[in-house]
Amino acid sequence: MLKFIGLGSITTAIAPAVLLQACKEAAAVVDTYKFTALSAGQAASVKAIQDMIIPRTDTPSASDVGSVEFLDTYVTHAYKPEDKARMLHQLDRFAVKLKEEHGVEVANATEEHLVAMMDKYFANYTAPKEKEVEMEIEGNKIDNPTDSSEDKVDYKDDTTEINMLLSGIRWITLESYFSSEKVATEVLNYLPVPGPYIGQMPIADLPNGMNWSL
């Protein structure tokens, strides 16, 4: 869990004044987080996708634990320039296709719209035959103005690119979610210093049936 969101682990032993101060600071950091790779529109697409993969239930969603900011920082620091350009292109195409196919902006998309996108480009996706790919690439070259500015990257057709985007975001979403403090310490079973090792413990002894977080 990103520290600035993870207040759940603060115990009641902490004086209320301190807690209040901590809340203020945490809120300030959330507000002041400056995206360094994603535009506001691209961040909205990331949030929509990540919260489809891990939605909010009685436990937090992906974006609740800072997955969008995680991805932004990750792309900023660890992606090669061409990989970063590709992801941003893919996010843009995701928004374009959402609009084309469902007539909505990302911010106004309903769960139904997003399920349709996830099913089409991810869960039910099958790689197209070579000929179809060529045709769609040809089409993109005419229609897509961002292509000329990213001429170093050899983009494939939109369907393939969006599938790559969703497949790629999947692991970064899981990674940031399950390595967040909130999920690791409050949802899963957190055991930093196990003490004696037990090789064959009955699963019934695992609190709530939740896995170990570390």
Q: Which of 64, 69, 157, 161 binds other proteins (CB under 8 A)?
A: 69
Q: Choose the stretch contacting other proteins; rule: CB under 8 A; options: 85-93, 96-104, 120-128, 136-144.
A: 120-128
Residue 139 Cβ vs other proteins, minimum distance, rounded to whole Å: 27
57 binds other proteins (CB under 8 A): yes
**Residue linked to tokens 């996706």:** 125
Question: Hey, which residues does 189 pair with through a beta bridge?
Answer: 212
Calpha distance 86→143 (Å, rounded): 17
Instruction: Indicate the SS3 state at residue 173.
Output: helix
Q: b/e per residue, 64-94, with b = 16+ CB within 10 A?
A: bbbbbbbbbbebeeeeeeeebbbbbbbbbbb
112 binds other proteins (CB under 8 A): no
Residue 77 Cβ vs other proteins, minimum distance, rounded to whole Å: 5
Q: Which of 63, 90, 160, 176 binds other proteins (CB under 8 A)?
A: 176
Q: Choose the stretch contacting other proteins; rule: CB under 8 A; options: 91-99, 136-144, 149-157, 176-184.
A: 176-184
For the chain, what's the residue count? 214
Q: Which of 19, 29, 153, 164 binds other proteins (CB under 8 A)?
A: 29
126 binds other proteins (CB under 8 A): no
13 binds other proteins (CB under 8 A): no
Copy the structure tokens of residue 214. Answer: 């570390």
170 binds other proteins (CB under 8 A): yes
**Residue linked to tokens 């009685």:** 58
198, amino acid identity? I
Nearest alpha-carbon partner for 98 in 112, 89, 109: 109
55 binds other proteins (CB under 8 A): yes
Q: Which residues contact 151 (CB under 8 A, 6 or more apart)?
A: none
210 binds other proteins (CB under 8 A): yes
- Binding-site size, other proteins (CB under 8 A): 64
146 binds other proteins (CB under 8 A): no
66, amino acid identity? G
Nearest alpha-carbon partner for 100 in 129, 122, 121: 121
121 binds other proteins (CB under 8 A): no
Calpha distance 51→142 (Å, rounded): 33
Q: Residues interacting with other proteins, by CB under 8 A?
A: 1-6, 25-26, 29-30, 32-33, 52-55, 57, 59, 66, 69-70, 73-74, 77-78, 80, 118, 122-123, 125, 170-171, 174-181, 184, 187-188, 191-206, 209-212, 214
